[in-house]
Structure 1
């Protein structure tokens, strides 16, 4: 079982690797971070389409998920708060783990660095994609890049080409969802299996197409509420049934990790919103950090950020993309990261499972 070490305490992260595309020396490596409850196995339908698009896929499991080191009582206590410093430390630690995995993987697998062809096309390197709630961890990495060891920062500066926030969850923005847009039912007191069943339907449903508003001050209202299509009508096209309901019970069990809903996920959802906003600001809106001599300099300034919004996704993700774009528009152009927003039409939160070939081809273009 392949695992990568992320600290000197024996902590490891499990991963699956599609391997080097045949006879390719200029392939791009795409590291895939999963979302909440659904672990990296949800990306497996993409693997058959990787080589033909000159991609090497790495399916990574975060802490607490199958094959990766579980969270300790100390880890949970830091998140439990209410001490802000402890929650900030917990978030930073998750980000540093990802940075160290990338360093270890680049060195172990001799990943080719970013290079320019004679036509000006960038080849090689690594793109980091995080889906849904997984963005909590990747934003923590970029938001705490000043704490990443200098040797790791230097190595990744030659390899890290883009950061893809795929249908990011509202768990990264530290802001409330407008009434009528919220889609998730969170019942911490319910049995874990019941939580997973409800969550799976809510996140994998199809919702009415969403368009990002030009202005969110004041926030838009959603009246009537934006309801999933399968609840809004009895005459629903089978294509628009929730993805989880199209899976066999065995498949759903293979893709989800119910124990994460016992405590950890609810602690993560309860992190101080000020911490989330500060991390997002440092990650996307001002990529400068202290160089150790009192001067603020940009770190990984060439990393391109891509926001992918599926237009029929759940409200939490639609609103997160809206807030992130708005914050980027208002940020200082000299210090913010280069960012683009892409909308996938007629796609729900599980487009990578429902339409893996389409999704891989789309990613190939933007990375």
Structure 2
């Protein structure tokens, strides 16, 4: 079983690697490291594999902490997540960022991934794109917010390889927001705002409700909804009135071997972490380091914020929050990272599963 470990500790994460796409290409290629969300393992990305090599991509599918093949959370870590001590939670989330940073740098070195380089016409070649989907963005923001405090060798390795980061369909809690109107109909399953994660009558049966809820196709939306407080009523109405379409949910086409039904404990512990901390991670991730700092993390990699036309309201609002944070920082004169906001038309929360070739083409174009 392939694993990537933290170099100075016992933590390891399971991964699958497609290997270099060497046939018919040069030795320079792009590697995409993919991190899954809740319930499904990294196997959710396997439909992308047949389309990767012809686009000169190498894929590395990574399992989160607590998922099959990866290190479980220690009792001390679980206690920190469940604690009401904000500083204890802050220390825990910072340490998780260090763990993911060191694992990714170890992967880069172990797999001998080509470093990022610039061609004569100023185009980037090689390097790594790190993509997190759905609740996996919690881990992504923990990593990005801790980049400048990683051990030196890990920092240098990531700096020399990271070309882009894809924030793909982030949920509200990973963005550190929960607008008050989402709680108006926590128990109304006919509402487009309903979520089994927020419904206390359903949480104990989350495995039953989770798949159809997050993998259905919902009424399309053209633009991201506003999270300005003055627009709350309009956004509430827009989200509430979204309906599930007749298109079969993606989960009906997925196999059981990529499901992890013990995810409820991990999810419930993550939800105990206060939104303030998630928001801190997002804001720090969006902010570029000052010019006079020794390590210029902002020098090359960009952010891609990706959402889908028919996705669930949970992800629309999470994406909106991150886009709004970025605009607010920029308008306040804060030096922010370059961020591109993109939409995949016709897709639900599972664009990578339902249209894998189209998703790979998006990665090639935007990452």
The equivalent residue for 2:344 is 344
Give SS of 1:70's match. coil
Q: How does 1:252-291 map to 2 (within 5 A)?
A: 253-261=256-264, 263-284=265-286, 286-288=287-289
The equivalent residue for 1:130 is 132
The equivalent residue for 1:233 is none
Q: Does 1:201 align with 2:201?
A: no
TM-score (norm 2): 0.89
Q: Are 1:94 and 1:137, in contact at CA under 8 Å, matched by a contact in 2?
A: yes
The equivalent residue for 2:236 is 222
Query: What do the CA deviations read for 1:148-175 (whole angstroms, capped 9, x no partner)?
Result: 1122112211100000001111122221
The equivalent residue for 1:107 is 109
Specify which of 244, 264, 280 is matched with residue 251 of structure 2: 244
Going from structure 1 to structure 2, the CA distance change for 1:191 and 1:209 (only over 3 Å counts) comes to: closer
Query: What do the CA deviations read for 1:54-90 (whole angstroms, capped 9, x no partner)?
Result: 0000000011001111111111101001011111122
The equivalent residue for 1:8 is 8
Q: C-alpha root-mean-square deviation of aligned residues, in Å? A: 2.2
Specify which of 162, 166, 169 is matched with residue 167 of structure 1: 169
Going from structure 1 to structure 2, the CA distance change for 1:90 and 1:130 (only over 3 Å counts) comes to: same
Runs of 4+, deviation exceeding 3 Å? 177-181, 187-192, 295-298
In 2, the alpha carbon distance for the partners of 1:195 and 1:112 equals: 41
In 2, the alpha carbon distance for the partners of 1:223 and 1:298 equals: 44
Q: Are 1:166 and 1:309, in contact at CA under 8 Å, matched by a contact in 2?
A: yes
In 2, the alpha carbon distance for the partners of 1:191 and 1:278 equals: 27
In 2, the alpha carbon distance for the partners of 1:7 and 1:201 equals: 39
The equivalent residue for 1:323 is 321
Query: What do the CA deviations read for 1:110-141 (whole angstroms, capped 9, x no partner)?
Result: 21111122332211000000000000001001
Give SS of 1:111's match. coil
Q: How does 1:305-320 map to 2 (within 5 A)?
A: 305-320=303-318
Q: Are 2:226 and 2:320, in contact at CA under 8 Å, matched by a contact in 1?
A: no
In 1, the alpha carbon distance for the partners of 2:91 and 2:273 equals: 12
In 2, the alpha carbon distance for the partners of 1:20 and 1:298 equals: 29
In 2, the alpha carbon distance for the partners of 1:269 and 1:314 equals: 19
Q: How does 1:67-146 map to 2 (within 5 A)?
A: 67-146=69-148
In 1, the alpha carbon distance for the partners of 2:153 and 2:28 equals: 24
In 2, the alpha carbon distance for the partners of 1:296 and 1:288 equals: 10
Q: Are 1:205 and 1:348, in contact at CA under 8 Å, matched by a contact in 2?
A: yes
The equivalent residue for 1:58 is 60
The alignment covers a number of residue pairs equal to 349
Q: Are 1:183 and 1:227, in contact at CA under 8 Å, matched by a contact in 2?
A: no
In 2, the alpha carbon distance for the partners of 1:203 and 1:281 equals: 26
Q: Are 2:132 and 2:140, in contact at CA under 8 Å, matched by a contact in 1?
A: yes
The equivalent residue for 1:212 is 224
Q: Are 1:167 and 1:318, in contact at CA under 8 Å, matched by a contact in 2?
A: yes
